[in-house]
Amino acid sequence: MAQFDPTHHPHRRFNPLTNEYILVSPQRSKRPWLGQVEPSQPTDLLQFDPKCYLCPGNFRAGGEKTEKYEHTYTFENDYAAILPPPVPAPPPVSHPLLTIQPVSGGCDVLIFHPRHDLTIPRLTLEDISRIIEEWIRIYRKRGAEEGIKHVQIFENKGSIMGCSNPHPHGQVWSMSSIPTLPSVEIASLIRYSQTEQPPSDAPKGPDDHPCLLCEYAFTEAKLGERVVVKNQHWVALVPWWATWPFEILLLPYHRHIPSIFHLTPEENLSFASIISKITIRYDNLFLCSFAYSMGIHQRPVPLASPEDTDEHDVCHLHLHFDPPLLRSASVKKFIAGIELMAEVQRDLTPEQAAERLRACSETHYLDKGSEHRGIH
Amino acid sequence: MAQFDPTHHPHRRFNPLTNEYILVSPQRSKRPWLGQVEPSQPTDLLQFDPKCYLCPGNFRAGGEKTEKYEHTYTFENDYAAILPPPVPAPPPVSHPLLTIQPVSGGCDVLIFHPRHDLTIPRLTLEDISRIIEEWIRIYRKRGAEEGIKHVQIFENKGSIMGCSNPHPHGQVWSMSSIPTLPSVEIASLIRYSQTEQPPSDAPKGPDDHPCLLCEYAFTEAKLGERVVVKNQHWVALVPWWATWPFEILLLPYHRHIPSIFHLTPEENLSFASIISKITIRYDNLFLCSFAYSMGIHQRPVPLASPEDTDEHDVCHLHLHFDPPLLRSASVKKFIAGIELMAEVQRDLTPEQAAERLRACSETHYLDKGSEHRGIH
Ligand SMILES: [Zn+2]
Ligand SMILES: [Zn+2]
C-alpha cells in the first residue's frame, strides 16, 4: 500500500478549540464543478456615495444622521439584535427541554474610514491602527457596562457574507452571556491549562500553567508549513483544523495576551501591520475584494483589575478570518449537506492553502506601480 | 416594564442535542434589507436533459454510464470524498495538538427518479416510498461493510445549497468514524437516558430509560404551537432551538425508533406521506423549488442483532431539514459574522415560522387544479 500523503489521502483532523473533527479529502480537488457562480463584487465604488448611510454626513434609514467623521465612527445599530437592559425576563419554562434565557446588551457599528471604497487592505497602517484603538475603546467601554459578560468584535466583508453595505465597517455585539462558540473555546482553554502537558519551550499562561494557544502558536511559528506571515509578535496561519479553504488564525506567539487591552504599543503596531499583510494577500489571491467574516476572540468582561486575576485570564487573544471563496472570485465553498448533517469537509489541505497565500504579493493588486510597492 | 413577549423581546434558547444556545431577536424582523439577492432557481427544467449525467442512459464526467433506470438508481460517486479501505494510515503526530485520524468508507449517489424535473414534492407517495426503501437498503448494505461505523444519508436541494445538478438526487456517505455532529447528539442522548428526568407520559427508550427525543417529540406534539404537520406516527416541527428560519425536525413520536430499518410498513407509509406534505408546504411558502439540506440521523452501524442491544439503541431516528431561504425565493439567511464567531442568531421566532408553514397548502402550487388537489 502507498505511503500516507496528506495531499492525496483522505483523513480527519481534530480542532482542540471546538472539539470537532474536520474531514479532509485532498484527492477531490480534481473533480469538475458545475454549481452556482456568485455575482462578483462591484469594483468601481464611489469614494463618496450620496445614497450610503455610512458615508459622512448622510442620513440612515431610521432618520439618524451619520456625522461628518474624519477617521473612524461608531454608533449604536439602529436595528440592534440585542437591546439594553431592562429587558423583561421570560417566564419559567413549561418543560425542561424548552430552556429560555434573557439576554441584554448592545450592538455597535464601527465605520473604518470615511472613504466608501477603501477596505482594510487599501488603508494605511495609520488608519488600521486607528481601527484597533477604536476596538480597544469599545471593548473597554462596553466591558465596563453593568451586566455585560462578552464583547464580540467582528467584521463581515462582502455581500456573499451577507454584508448589506460595501462601505467598510465592522460590528461589536456586547452581551449579558458568553455566547456559544467563545464559551466552548474558553472551556477548552481551561481544560488544557489544568491538564498535564508534555514539556515545551512555548510561553505559558497565568500561574505558569500551559496555554493551548501559546503552545499552538509557538509550534506553528516553528514548523512554518501552515504559516502565511509572521512578525516579531504575531503569527498568521492556516490552522491544522481549518474549516474554510483559506481560513486564517491570527494570534500573538511570543507571550500570553488575554485581550487587545493588554497589548503594548509595539504589539499594537505590529498588529496593524500583520492585518494589512493578511488582507492584501487575500485580495491578491483571486484579484478581487476578498470576502470574509473576521472575529476577535479574547477574554470575557469585565476585565480583572491589574492586581486581580480570574479564571478568564486563560483566554489567549486570537482573530479568526473565515473566507468563503474556494477557487476564484466567484466560486465559494458551501456549508451544506455533509457539513450541516455530519462534519465539516474540505478538499484543499491547510498546508496547500498556506502555500498559496504565502505566494501572494504584499503589494495590493490595485496599487501596483504606486509608491506603496513593497513597503508594507 | 412590559411583560415578556417572545415575538418582541430578544432571548436565547438552548439546543439540548448540540448544547448550543441560539439568539432570537424577533424585533429585528422589521429592519430594511439591502443585501444580496440570490439568482432564482430555473423553473422550466426539461423532463429529460441530454446533458445531465444523472438522466437515464447518459454518460458521467468520469466516462461511466448512468443506466436506463425506471425508479431510483444508486451508484458510487465518481469523485468520492471518502475512499474504500485499505487507506494508508497517517504517521504518528509530530505534536499532540496536530491530531490526525485515518478515515475510509464510501460515497453513494442516489437518484430519486428518472424525471429530471421532478423533486420530492412533485413525486407520488409510491415514488417517495421507493426512495425510503432504497435508503433502508443502502443503510443496511453499507452498515454491514467491514469497518463502517456511520451511514449519513442526506440531500442537498437547490444550487444555493451548493447542489451542482438540478436532477433530484441525494447522497449517502459511509464512514469509519461517527462524524462530529451525530457524535455530539449521541452523547446528549446517552447523557439524558442516564440522568433522572421528571415523570412523563412520553414513550421511553431502551430498558425503560428516558429518551430525549421521545420526550421532546411527545411534548411538541401535545403543545402544537411549533408543529407544522403530524400524522399517526410522525411529527414535523420547527424546533424550539431552530437555527434556520424554516428549519424542520421530523421524527416519530409514538414510540422509540432507532433507525429507518426499525420502521413497520405502516410507519413507512406515513413517513412517505409526511415527507410529501413537508416538502409541498416548503415549495408553496415562496412559490419556488425550496432549497434545503436534509439529513437522516439514526443509530450508528453495524446494527445490533435483533436479540442483542448496545448503547447505540438510545438513538432516536430523526430528520433535519435546514433550508436557507428567509423571506422570499431570493433572500436567504446568512451564516456569517455573529454566527461564525459567537452564536447563531435568528429574527423570526420558531413559533412564527411554524405558523407560516401551517398556513401553506398541501397541494403543490404547480399542481393547482389537477386531480391531485387535496388528496395528499
Ligand atoms: Zn476562537
Ligand atoms: Zn440530529
Q: What is the pLDDT of residues A98-126, one digit of tens each?
A: 999 999 999 999 999 999 999 999 999 99
Q: Do B33 and A164 touch (CB under 8 A)?
A: yes
Ligand 2 center to A14 CA (angstroms):
21
Q: Would you state the pLDDT for residue A231?
A: 97
Of residues A95, A150, A161, nearest to B337 (C-beta): A161
In this prediction, residue B207 carries a pLDDT of 92
Quote the ligand 1 centre to A319 CA distance (angstroms). Answer: 7
Contact B326, B338 (CB under 8 A): no
Nearest Cα residue to B289 out of B188, B193, B151, B163 = B163
Asked if the model's pLDDT at residue B34 lies above 60, the reply is: no
pLDDT of residue A207: 92
B35 → closest Cβ in A94, A162, A173? A162
**pLDDT at site B314:** 95
**Whether A21 and B338 lie within 8 Å, measured CB to CB:** no
- DSSP reduced 3-state for A116: coil
Chain A nearest-CA distance from B12, in A, is 5
Query: Would you say the ipTM is above 0.85?
Result: yes
pLDDT of residue B252: 98
pLDDT at B200: 94
Residue A122: strand, helix, or coil: helix
**Closest CA–CA distance from residue B25 to any residue of chain A (Å):** 5
User: Is A209 assigned to a binding site?
Assistant: no
Q: Is A372 annotated as a binding residue?
A: no
Cα A258 from Cα A304, distance rounded (Å): 11
Q: Which residues in chain A are closer than 8 Å to B35, comparing Cβ atoms? A: 159, 162-164
pLDDT digits (tens, 9 = 90+) for B55-96: 999 988 778 888 899 999 999 998 889 999 888 888 888 899
DSSP 8-state symbol, A334: -
Catalytic residue among A150, A169, A233, A256: A169
Q: Mean pLDDT, consecutive 10-residue segments, chain A of 376 residues?
A: 82 88 82 57 81 90 87 91 88 88 94 95 97 97 95 92 86 96 96 94 95 97 97 97 96 96 96 98 94 96 77 95 89 88 93 96 84 42
- Residue of chain B nearest A81, judged by CA positions: B25
A11 is catalytic: no
What is the predicted pLDDT for the residue at A259?
Answer: 96
Q: Which of A348-362, B113-127, B149-163 comes out lowest in average pLDDT?
A: B149-163
pLDDT tier at B376, thresholds 50, 70, 90 = very low
pLDDT of residue B8: 84
Looking at every residue in chain B, the average pLDDT score rounds to 90
- Collect all residues of chain B within an 8 Å Cβ-Cβ radius of residue A27: 83
Q: How far is the CA of A18 from the centre of ligand 1 (A)?
A: 9
Closest residue in B to A30 (Cα–Cα): B79
- Please give the order of strands across the beta sheet that includes B11-15: A100-102, B11-15, B20-24, B344-346
- B256 annotated ligand binder: no
Could you give the domains of chain A?
Answer: 198-359 (3.30.428.10)
Name all contacts of A158-161 with Cβ < 8 Å and 24+ positions apart. A158/A41, A158/A289, A158/A290, A158/A291, A158/A292, A159/A39, A159/A41, A159/A291, A159/B35, A159/B36, A160/A38, A160/A41, A160/A291, A160/A324, A160/A325, A160/A332, A160/B36, A161/A291, A161/A292, A161/A293, A161/A324, A161/B334, A161/B336, A161/B337
A108 forms bridges with which residues in the sheet? A76, A172
Distance B355 CA to ligand 2 centre (A): 23
Query: Which ligand is located closest to the Cα atom of residue B179?
Result: 2
* Structural contact between residues B176 and B163, judged by C-beta atoms closer than 8 angstroms: no
Q: Which residues of B are less than 8 Å from A34 in CB distance?
A: 164-165
pTM: 0.93
Confidence of residue B232 (pLDDT cuts 50, 70, 90): very high
Alpha carbon A35 to chain centroid, angstroms? 27
**Cβ-defined contact of B4 to A156 (cutoff 8 Å):** no
B17 CA → ligand 2 middle, Å: 7
Is residue B297 marked as binding?
Answer: yes
The predicted structure's pLDDT at residue B32: 58
For residues B223-245, average pLDDT: 97
Q: Contact B293/B156 with Cβ under 8 angstroms? A: yes
Q: Output the pLDDT for position A36.
A: 54
